[in-house]
Amino acid sequence: MTFNDLNLVEPILKALKEEGYTTPTPIQEQSIPILLGYNDLLGCAQTGTGKTAAFAIPLLQHLFNTRSNENQRRTIKALVVTPTRELAIQIGESFTSYGKYTGIRNTVVFGGVKQKAQTNELRKGVDILVATPGRLLDLMNQGFISLKDVEFFVLDEADQMLDMGFIHDIKKLIAKLPQKRQSLFFSATMPPAIVQLSASILGQHETVTIKPKQTTAEKVEQELYYVSKGNKTNLLIELLNKDALTSSIVFSRTKHGANKIVKHLDRAGIPAEAIHGNKSQPARQRALNSFKDGSLNVLVATDIAARGIDVDDISHVINYDLPNVPETYVHRIGRTGRAGSSGTALSFCAGDERAFLKDIQKLIKQDITVIEDHSYPDDGTEVLTVPQKRNPNKPRKNNFSSGKSKRWSTRKPASRNRSNR
């Protein structure tokens, strides 16, 4: 089957041809005819399978066929809600690409930036709005956005929405939507909470489930490096200097750790940028755009920030820190090996991460190839010191070393914000 067989209008076919699209992916082949028939849809497919085009193309066609007067005031007819800023921007770009010859206008609203540019676009009138939940509700409360004319509603990456705590925001949005609408619900997984949420959004609906021929863990080549904490950066630099690592995402468990990795790489002459929650949205977007266009080969990310990264041809994912939640490991390595391509995941494991590794292997039900031939092997003898609780009844002692004394202060230290995820 080709896109020509899906009864699409010529302006959309022309745009798809320019994008190099000829054959629809399984999720597109099954979903597009359902959605062109105005049916509700529950779609379950992994990230990277072409879900955005599966819903964007039918929405554009519906709006193109029903828009009668170019001069009439544009109101929001289609609403797409997605969990992260980066993903919202990418979906907006897809609508722009597929709809370039349709005359349909879209815009994107998300938090982390000033709202003026976004509200200016809304005032001009748009047909399709792509939004993250928080900014959407904020602009609705301010009167910039009305959902009364919405005919098509898409909830994308629903499982991530729940993981990120957006369930109450989603319920507020659903209450504001017209009862008569076409609803689309996409999720990579279907735990009970997702099934329950889908039931509150969808009416009589069709279901499309695309099961991968291989699981993420099976199709991505995985390698494990035992390395002491102090040598992780040295090993990372050694690996990144290899020619095969053309585009790599490096995962850090913390924001502070991501910044430190970037500093070390810069000193070693390896350009890198970090994306995490403390970075401004323009900075995050600049880094992501540079990574997409190939001018930046190394992106250092925390898990939350990386959820919106949808970039093809990532050669390597590097787990600088192993995640303490095994499912997160699968999400991380799924950033490579997308759309049928191959990819490699390299994981560093220090002494205090052995328990995390055990949980990961239990989840994926396979061993990870251990690479012993590298410059910074850890033989497992690294001693981990655990701070002992001090007996409050025992006086502190002064420590003397090389004639210098350490003075103990009884002053209570300033509180620190330890939220570094």
The predicted model gives 110-127 an average pLDDT of 93
Lowest mean pLDDT among 121-135, 265-279, 385-399: 385-399
Boundaries of every domain in the chain: 3-209, 216-370
Helices 167-176/192-201 angle, 10° precision = 10
pLDDT band at 338 (very low <50, low <70, confident <90, very high): low
> What is the model's pTM?
0.68
pLDDT for res 383 = 41
Do the domains 216-370 and 3-209 match in fold?
Answer: yes
pLDDT band at 10 (very low <50, low <70, confident <90, very high): very high
The predicted model gives 155-182 an average pLDDT of 89
pLDDT of 403 over the 50 cut: no
Backbone Cα Rg of the chain: 25
> What gap in Å lies between CA 109 and CA 86, rounded to an integer?
11
CATH 3.40.50.300 fits 216-370, yes or no: yes
Provide the percentage of residues in the chain whose pLDDT is more than 90. 53
pLDDT for res 305 = 62
Choose among 206, 170, 163, 224: nearest CA to 188: 163
- What is the per-residue DSSP string for 24-79? --HHHHHHHHHHHTT-EEEEE--TTSSHHHHHHHHHHHHHHHH---TTSPP---EE
Instruction: Determine the number of helices (DSSP H) and then strands (DSSP E) in the chain.
Output: 16, 16
CATH class of 3-209: alpha beta
Contact 92, 81 (CB under 8 A): no
pLDDT band at 342 (very low <50, low <70, confident <90, very high): low
- pLDDT tens-digit series, residues 183-202: 999 988 777 888 888 888 99
Residue 229 is given by DSSP the state G
The predicted model gives 162-191 an average pLDDT of 89
